[in-house]
Chain A
Amino acid sequence: MKRLFLLVLIIIIGVSGLSAKDYYIYCTAESEDEVALIRFDGKTAHVEKRIPVGVWPVEIEGPHGITVSPDGDYWYLSMAHGLPYGHLYKYKTGTDEMVDRVELGLFPATMGISNATGLIYIVNFNLHGGHTEPSTVSIVDPEEMIEIDRVETGIMPHGSRLLNNGLKHYSVAMMSGMLYEIDAMTMQITRTISTAPPNKKMNAHSGHNMKKMDHSNMKMGKNKRMSNKDKKGIAAMGKMAMAKMDHKMPPEKPTWVYPHPNDNLIYVVNNGTDNVVEIDVKKWEVVRTFKTDKAPYNCEVSQDGKYLVVTYKGAAKTGVWDLKTGKEVAKLKNSRKVTHGVVISPDSRYAFVSVEGIGKEPGAVEVIDLHNLEKVAIAEIGKQAGGITFWKMTD
């Protein structure tokens, strides 16, 4: 009897060992100039490697967006800061050695690789500055690492994803409040749509005035001690500059876009109005709106199409939505403030969420079990954990 028990035990352990998977994730640490390779074994998240990135040892270059090639052989990393233009880097997976880089626009950020063209479509976020100039999506050949085209979209483009068939690229523009569809083949914009929910669209471009928002420190009219030279200066400087600041921004401030695995629906995260809108690709209209917690930032849909996972940057939480019912089935508090990105394993089992932290606090990657809707592991990485991507699963 005892022997039989031991045999059964050995078989159980053996089978469970055989069926255990390792999940490998790459995650950027934007204020550490590092990329962490994390292995999650189903129970524990291990930081396998912290890979220094960039070329300036005494400047933070800001690794932001990251993605792995469809064959898993390379990973691509956007570095936001340059002189002044940022770069796209190419690294070999496994050895994590740098292969090449190409200079792009101002603050290159999120990227996606087309399953049809094999090209990388990467937004030039241009986070800095007056937020008045439209920016672009760079299209890069990842083999030769050359930029073959730029497509102008809106102000502060962010989020960059393609349909699974690789034929359409989607990005949003935060300060334009728009979703842009680019034909991956012709490299031209084919459609645009406001990301405002249907009942808000009437007010989409009148609700937010930068002058009222961010300029509270500029009480220049009240300052009675202002010198004449400064008064002259303001006049001379800058009707131009002041006029720039006077433009109106839509309140949605969309930050992310993600297509449903069925390629019929797209989810756009409206960071400024705390909702995610579901857009019907064919009808090209918003069909559902999910009211979320504060300042949603990124999202991803599980490959089985069941869940939409949304990071709430302002609430330090992550929401899991049942796409069938349209209900939020779980809202999990993250371990530190400033929740950032999310990637879901291809088997739809786990969501990996990057959490930035504040100041010197280490960033983190938290693992959410989508079966049990609970957090199961956490790995601490460098400061300001941000871009996150899935590399591989191994048995």
Chain B
Amino acid sequence: MKKLYILILIAFSIGFGQENSEKKEAKHSFIFEPDSLFLNIGETGTVTIKFVDEDGNLANNPFYVYGRPRRALESKPRISDSTGVAVVTIKAFKPGKLNLSVRSISQKREDRVMGNMPIEVPFPPLDRIVFNDPILNVYVGTYVNYKTEVFDKANLKRTESKVLLSSSNSDVAEFDSYGNLVAKKSGKITLIASVDDIKESLNIKVSKNPVRKISVSADKDKIRTGDVLQFNAKVMNRANKVIKDVPVTFSYSGRAEYGIGLPASALINKDGKFVAETPGVFTVIAQSGRFSARKTIEVVQRNVRKEVKIVGHGTVSNVNTSDLWVWPGIGKHKGKDFAATGTWSANGEAYFWDVTEPENMYIIDTVTVDARTVNDVKVSENGEVAVITREGASNRKNGFVVLDIRDPFNVKITAEFNDDMTGGVHNVFIYDNHVYAVNNGRKYDVINIEDPSNPFRVGRYELSTPGHGVHDVWVIDGLAYSSNWADGVHVVDVGGVKFSEKNRSNIQYNPFLAMAGQGSPGNPVKLGGMADPNGHNHAAFPFISQSSDKFYLITGDEYGDQFGMAGGYHFLDFTDPKEPKETAVYQVPEAGSHNHWVHGDTLFASYYQGGLRVVDISGELMGDIYAQGREIAFFMSSDPEGFVANRPNVWGTMPYKGLIYFSDMNNGLWAIKLVDNNPMGTN
């Protein structure tokens, strides 16, 4: 019987394939009985599907059946009989407008006929509407926005549900199309939120607006572009008593300093924080009800530009360069300075450089391991040990290699570690005799290297979210900051430093250190984090602002689009680690972000095809950093002798002894410095 089935199938497939395909497409079709289905989640239904020719006769050709999207429907059987008939039992697993798809089986693609049947699976019934922090007392003449969320019986948030807001008495107050309640006169209303047959109501009191006066002030009359200035509005009643619960709306108008048509560009948030991108004269308006007040300020150019001077460059012309590290020599090499660079998609080499005289930097040793990419190089705090990563090993047993670099002129391989790292180690960090090795794209392992010749695993950090990944980890003061693509940045206690007078200021401003003490290298404990809705989180660096009371994590994107690498750096305000929020972004429009480093109040940003960028991140940060003129310098590291000639592609950077070292993927190692010779002075 089985043989017969196969024979029929093959014979038909071949015969079917030999006919004219255009004719076939026109003549064959699927009949679904019924032609649509309506199923609740978990319910089953049955449909008879026939594959027929132009006369309605069975085509005697099998077809297969599948639900779309995948895992939304279960269909049994998955294939028809050889005559072209299937009685399919369908079970619904996910809600939505789904499809049962069919496709005839034939050898030739052009002979295949497809069909679809709609299956509607309704979402679970709605359960409730929730108001988010609603204001219950409003004042005449003000607008109040009410935000709601809808949940269904499965407790899922139903973002597609459009909530209708209405007032029980539109003479007292009514809603506009955007969820703003416009208070007209004193009285009481019931605010009704409804969607389908679900309703929720609030009792709102509309009071006579006591405001008789409003004033607005700020600490300064003149700021620079990029400076965040807090405007404070004071609302008072007839008796000059300050009223605190009356909503105030901030807005601005402005005139740019130069240029016809140049907009006066700025940002003011709902709390009255203002930042300007262009110099000019700006007027901030605070409004409440019928009353408004204004304050005009002057915004001047930030004027932080500095000149870049090339100090030294070591061309790598035969391979792509990857990451770098710079460190001071020890022992007999005390007083000298060294650098290490990796190589990408090449021969598994790491180069060691003498950069004591950066203007004459040169390669002093090369280590070759079984790999194609040495993506990362890191050096221990004491300058004795380096770790290089391995990807593309010929035996697919990747991992990392521990090096003795006490004599950088004669680097020795101490040990290899490749256990459970088949997928390769992409990034590492060395902290307190442990290697934090990001491997397999999924996790980081913590490896003890107290005895560098005998590394062993003591811990592991891996997320449990579906499709999770990790790209980088950076450890400072016993806190590991990992970058996890869509899962964003995670701050993990791997032995957070204890309080001492030496680190008092750090602990004071890094709130995670105040929470530390729960974890160890063998027992990493997550303290906080923030997801990346774009899924681009590639690197992270903690930033204790030296000029404000803010603590940020600066996270870098990595992604490509049709124009090449793209992305920027996000400033996540973690001053309150329980309520982190992104407040600013630095993004060069035409280039892609990669690794970064923060020193003091300066961001050093490797920007691939956009070269190296040096950015002033002093003070509070809000809005579009790039547009605010905070860029101190940029340098396009072009080299006609590079592996890719005359095309900058900056990978990583590290400030060291007053210089900025960076590696360029296309041409090697650079050292530059900033020269402040701005004849206009610095604002």
Contacts and interface: CB of A to CB of B under 8 A. Distances in A.
Interface of A: 31-32, 55-58, 60, 69-71, 73, 81, 83-85, 107, 115-119, 127-131, 141, 143, 146-149, 165-167, 185-187, 214-215, 217-220, 222-223, 225-227, 229-238, 241, 245, 337-338, 356-361, 383-384
Given A146-B68, A356-B394, 18 more contacts: A57-B564, A58-B558, A58-B608, A60-B392, A71-B108, A116-B105, A127-B396, A128-B439, A149-B66, A165-B6, A225-B450, A233-B522, A359-B370, A359-B371, A359-B394, A360-B347, A360-B348, A384-B372
A226 B109 contact: no
B371 A226 contact: no
B467 interface: yes
Contacts of A143: 103, 109, 112, 114
A60 B13 CA distance: 41
Nearest to B104: A118
B107 A215 contact: no
A56 B346 CA distance: 17
B96 to A, nearest CB: 16
B394 A338 contact: yes
A143 B468 CA distance: 29
B521 A83 contact: no
Interface string B366-401: 001011110000000000000000011010110000
Nearest to B434: A230
Contact of B79 (A55, A186, A238): A186
A148 B108 contact: no
A370 to B, nearest CB: 27
A233 B416 contact: no
B105 A130 contact: no
A232 B520 contact: yes
Given A225-B451, A359-B346, A57 B415 contact: no
B523 interface: yes
Contacts of A128: 422-424, 439-442
A133 to B, nearest CB: 12
B427 interface: no
Contact of A129 (B112, B396, B416, B423): B423
Interface string B572-595: 000000000000000000000010
A186 B441 contact: no
Contacts of A117: 64, 105
Contacts of A107: 423
Nearest to A187: B78
Interface string B167-192: 00000000000000000000000000
Nearest to B13: A116
A327 to B, nearest CB: 30
Interface stretch (B278-286, B294-302, B457-465, B508-516): B457-465
A83 B485 contact: yes
A70 B6 CA distance: 19
B117 to A, nearest CB: 15
A60 B345 CA distance: 8
A360 B79 CA distance: 48
A73 B442 contact: no
A361 to B, nearest CB: 8
B85 to A, nearest CB: 15
A60 B448 contact: no
A58 B109 contact: no
A229 B525 CA distance: 13
Contact of A233 (B108, B458, B485): B458
5 tightest Cβ-Cβ pairs between the two chains A and B = A233-B522, A128-B423, A360-B347, A128-B440, A229-B520
Contacts of B348: 359-360
A7 B333 CA distance: 81
B420 A245 contact: yes
A223 B448 contact: yes
A108 to B, nearest CB: 14
Nearest to A220: B456
| Most chain B beta carbons < 10 A, residue from A107, A230, A236, A358 | A230
B646 interface: no
A131 B459 CA distance: 18
Contacts of A130: 420
Contacts of A217: 415-419, 454-456
A127 B368 CA distance: 24
Contacts of A359: 346-348, 368, 370-372, 394
B18 to A, nearest CB: 13
Given A359-B347, A383-B372, A185 B419 contact: no
* B contact patch SS: loop
A84 B468 contact: yes
Interface residues of B, number: 79
B345 A32 contact: yes
14 contacts: A58-B558, A60-B345, A60-B391, A83-B441, A84-B468, A141-B66, A186-B79, A217-B415, A217-B418, A230-B521, A233-B446, A338-B394, A359-B346, A359-B371
A342 to B, nearest CB: 18
Contacts of B446: 233
A76 to B, nearest CB: 13
B456 A71 contact: no
A214 B422 CA distance: 11
B62 interface: yes
A245 B422 CA distance: 14
A338 B420 CA distance: 22
Given A69-B109, A187-B78, A129 B420 contact: yes
B640 interface: no
A218 B78 contact: no
B520 A56 contact: no
Contacts of B345: 31-32, 60, 383
A225 B371 CA distance: 31
Given A81-B441, A129-B422, A226 B70 contact: no
Interface in B63-84: 64, 66, 68-70, 77-79
Nearest to A119: B64
B495 interface: yes
Contacts of B42: none
B319 interface: yes
Contacts of B391: 60
A31 B392 contact: yes
A227 B523 CA distance: 13
Contacts of B458: 220, 226, 230, 233-234, 237
A57 B347 contact: no
Contacts of A71: 108-109
Interface in B343-371: 345-348, 368, 370-371
A236 B522 contact: yes
A163 B181 CA distance: 69
A346 B371 CA distance: 36
Nearest to B76: A186
A338 B448 CA distance: 33
B346 A360 contact: yes
Given A58-B608, A225-B450, A234-B458, A84 B372 contact: no
A357 B348 CA distance: 13
Contacts of B105: 116-118, 185
A148 B394 contact: no
B442 A56 contact: no
Contacts of B373: 31, 60
Contacts of A167: 6, 9
B515 to A, nearest CB: 18
B535 interface: yes
A106 to B, nearest CB: 9
Interface in B403-447: 415-420, 422-424, 439-442, 446
Nearest to A314: B395
A31 B422 contact: no
A117 B422 CA distance: 35
B130 interface: no
B209 interface: no
B372 A129 contact: no
Contacts of B560: 55-58
A255 to B, nearest CB: 12
A314 B391 CA distance: 19
